Amino acid sequence: MALPAVREHMVIDGAGILFLAIVCLGVPYVAWRSSERAGSGPLPIPRKRFFIQTIFVQLYLGALAFAAAWRNGIDLLAMPAAPLPAWALAAAFLALLLGVMRWRWPHRGEESKEKLVRLLPRERAELAPYFALCLAAGVCEELVYRGTTAVLLTRLTGNLLAAIVIASAVFALAHVIQGRRAAIIVFFIALGAHALVFLTKSLFPVMAVHALYDAVGGVLMSRWYRRELESAPQPQVLSQTTPIR
């Protein structure tokens, strides 16, 4: 897979090692503990506050990725080698992801849906911070996982395929709060994202796909879930807020 340009030598400095420790060990550990504490119940804090806090976490990790990349000669800002095919591939990948999401939705269990939808906006006032989070995640997570982490792991292991698998597994573990089955799906999505980077030789197309998928998919799943509740035989109250129509 063609990743952002790197120095020819395979040396990783202390900043790179520290970055890998944070991303590959620290982030999955925190995500797992957060998932265990949250369980299947509601979020312990309001969703709007959760979105804002997560934005700052994304920005922090993105800054670490940039710092480690700069110290280790990794170019995270390479433009697509062939812009038109690159963006066409990105559009096709986005369409595939949204299609699979729509196909999978009716097959999800109720617990899985509830665990996922609690992380999504349910009222108009939550849309702005949620969309800001989607943008932050689309940019920063690609810088972190498909960019700096993948390159440093390639240097560390000397094996590109191993680096991609490890980076994808770490990315999936970082999303375990969505549910364990969802994390497995995220692993395969991450593999597809790495393939898009390989084909486009840039992080920008996959950033756009990531942000749009989170934004469009989040709103759609929230609506689907509400409609299911409204059509259920027994009335259930999702939230005493203005619904997203």
pLDDT in tens, 43-90: 778 999 999 999 999 999 999 999 999 999 999 999 998 999 999 999
pLDDT in tens, 16-48: 999 999 999 999 999 998 877 766 667 778 999
User: How far is it, in rounded angstroms, from Cα 88 to Cα 84?
Assistant: 6
Q: Please give the average per-residue pLDDT across 107-134, as a whole number.
A: 91
SS3 content of the chain, % helix, strand, coil (to 5): 75, 0, 25
Decide: 151 and 4 in contact? Cβ < 8 Å: yes
The domain limits of the chain are 14-231
Q: What pLDDT, on the 0 to 100 scale, is given for residue 111? A: 82
User: How far is it, in rounded angstroms, from Cα 93 to Cα 194?
Assistant: 12
Q: What pLDDT, on the 0 to 100 scale, is given for residue 245? A: 56
Instruction: Output the 3-class SS for 37-81.
Output: HHCCCCCCCCHHHHHHHHHHHHHHHHHHHHHHHHHCCCCCCCCCC
- Tokens representing residue 100 in the block: 């699979």
pLDDT bucket at 229, cuts 50 / 70 / 90: confident
Instruction: Tell me if residue 2 falls in helix, strand or coil.
Output: coil
Comparing 40-54, 126-140, 156-170, the range with the smallest average pLDDT is 40-54
pLDDT bucket at 241, cuts 50 / 70 / 90: low
Tell me, rounded to whole angstroms, the distance of Cα 162 from its chain centroid.
20
Residue 10 has pLDDT above 70, yes or no: no
Count the neighbouring beta carbons within 10 Å of the beta carbon of residue 66.
18
Cut 0.95: pTM above it? no
Phi, psi (rounded to 5 degrees) for 241? -140, 175
Q: How many angstroms separate the Cα of 138 from the Cα of each of 58, 160, 212? A: 9, 23, 8
User: How far is it, in rounded angstroms, from Cα 136 to Cα 211?
Assistant: 8
Q: What pLDDT, on the 0 to 100 scale, is given for residue 112? A: 84
- Name 113's Cβ contacts closer than 8 Å, sequence gap at least 6: 105, 221, 225, 228
Which of 146, 135, 200 lies closest to 171, judged by CA? 146
Residue 227 has pLDDT above 70, yes or no: yes
Q: What pLDDT, on the 0 to 100 scale, is given for residue 178? A: 84
User: How far is it, in rounded angstroms, from Cα 49 to Cα 43?
Assistant: 10
